[in-house]
Structure 1
């Protein structure tokens, strides 16, 4: 009889093989359900804050228009700038409060899960109110122009300040739209560098020129200029905690921005108008009288006929 040489060895080792039991000992395999996308969007508190911001900006616009009509046109430059600041903010807040001027930005966040790899990724969609950046792009140069006129900055310094401010706002918008960390924090860093140029122009050039205009002007410029710089330094901190890191909810971020906008626009303008506008030097020439006879276009009698 032929015997398979493997069988005896198999028989000896059969006790080591698993056998069927009445109670299986295999534990259930854990099941991991993929995370759904996370949506961070406007809530009730943020919506109310936007309407409050709109009402404050609208009332401020009407108040500044009324104040402008009470002073001669030669002294009206600060009133007109204040009116434009509040008017642009009014339009922006109305758009955001009525559901416009926003979109969702997609980013990928990392999350720890104990049943899978140490880190896996989830999709995050955060609501971005880009209308706010349009507002800032129009209003922050006007705020700086008010400070520049108060201090008496020359044209070259004013141009550098306004261009740096525009670069700061645009790179802030690009940072908010970035989908990767490199994009967001890279543009965020560039925005800070542009802001430092603005700070330098106000602190160094602005204070130097304001001191030449007398003690009163120097003190006022130091107070309102310092007030604006403190507020503007808080803005990027809120951005980093909100759009940057996602530590603040969209509602909390909006409430912070409303408070800062009210302080940096209507409150700043009222402070400046109530303390300086009436004693400001008059502006003659084209601002007050338009083109004079030498600069105006005229038609001769023959040409008119």
Structure 2
């Protein structure tokens, strides 16, 4: 109590975040029991009949489960493989730029898309890839080839999604790594220059080890989202022609839970997704702790 009274200002600053997690993260867990009941809104949660694992069994017997899980895993895996290294590379390159005006210009240009609405981003992608007036198809037609309706071709969906994700969010990740690079002592670089180290050697032996802890933490957090793919962009880019490659868990839950009002079934799928993400997060955290002595806890 004495510590609390002595540092009450810090606890006041902490209170809004604690309240946010209690209200929007922990309190809604009360509704998880819907996954184990045949929920009817008029009866409420407590008065709805208990059905156990019936909705989970229904999901595992569904003809679409393989497609949904496969698309979710592949999109997350490819985003991690191709998207995770990009902010690191950009940060290392920008850190070597000596002209501050050019450096600030590049930083502004690459992280500006992060602040653009997802709806606008998808609209821009659709315009770029339009078979009639899109820039990409204009180039294709100038080469004497037939235009391609990219948004209607399932084989192109994953590439379009991953490239747009990198374009939109790589700049924001770059800021995090630039902050980590700024914390590296300049004396290390000065000593390396005196010892005759080249620029590439300084990057390899000083910069990369200096941001390794940050990279590991971000990798753990990204791996914890292995089945939790963002809903907005996928849903906006989805249509009946590319659904075989674009239907993921989040869009499937929205359709069965909101559009079809099957709340119990949707909750069961969401709970399954959350449990798998928790297991993956804890596993990757444990492996990272053993391999690099860096972890979330």
Q: Same fold (TM over 0.5)?
A: no
Higher share in strand: 1
Which structure has more relative contact order (CA 8 Å, sep 6+)? It is 2
Higher helix share: 2
User: TM-score, structure 2 length as denominator?
Assistant: 0.28
